[in-house]
Amino acid sequence: MTGKVKVAIIGSGNIGTDLMIKVMRNSQLLEMSAMVGVDPQSDGLARAARLGVTTTAEGLDGLLKLDLFNDIDIVFDATSAGAHKRHNDVLQQHGVQVIDLTPAAIGPYVIPAINLEAENATNMNMVTCGGQATIPMVAAVSRVAKVHYAEIVASIASKSAGPGTRANIDEFTETTRSAIETLGGATRGKAIIVLNPAEPPLIMRDTVFVLSDLADQQAIEDSIARMVASVQAYVPGYRLKQKVQFDVISPDQPLNVPGLGLKHGLKTSVFLEVEGAAHYLPAYAGNLDIMTSAALACADMMARRRIAAGIARGHKEAA
| Angle in degrees, 0-180, between the axes of helices 43-50 and 14-26, rounded to the nearest 10 | 20
161 is in an annotated binding site: yes
Active-site pick, 19, 66, 129, 288: 129
CA dist 302 and 75 (Å) reads 11
15 is in an annotated binding site: yes
**3-class secondary-structure state, position 29:** coil
The CA angle 238-239-240, to the nearest 5 degrees, is 150
12 is in an annotated binding site: yes
Cβ neighbours of 94 (radius 10 Å): 12
Phi, psi for 152 (deg, rounded to 5): -120, 145
Q: Specify whether the CB–CB gap between 22 and 289 falls below 8 A.
A: no
CA dist 146 and 126 (Å) reads 25
56 is in an annotated binding site: no
178 is in an annotated binding site: no
Catalytic-residue membership of 129: yes
187 is in an annotated binding site: no
82 is in an annotated binding site: no
225 is in an annotated binding site: no
86 is in an annotated binding site: no
250 is in an annotated binding site: no
313 is in an annotated binding site: no
251 is in an annotated binding site: no
Three-state helix/strand/coil letters over 231-259? HHCCCCCEEECCCCEEEEECCCCCEEECC
| Burial bucket for residue 129 (CB in 10 Å: 0-12, 13-18, 19+) | buried
Nearest residue to 125 via CA among 191, 78, 64 = 78
Q: Each residue of 234-270: b (16+ CB within 10 Å) or e?
A: bbebbeeeeebeeeebeeeeebebeeeeebbbbbbeb
CA dist 168 and 275 (Å) reads 23
89: which DSSP letter? Answer: H
| Angle in degrees, 0-180, between the axes of helices 286-309 and 14-26, rounded to the nearest 10 | 50
For the annotated binding site, the residues are: 12-15, 160-168, 287
For the annotated binding site for NAD(+), the residues are: 12-15, 160-168, 287
Catalytic machinery residues: 129
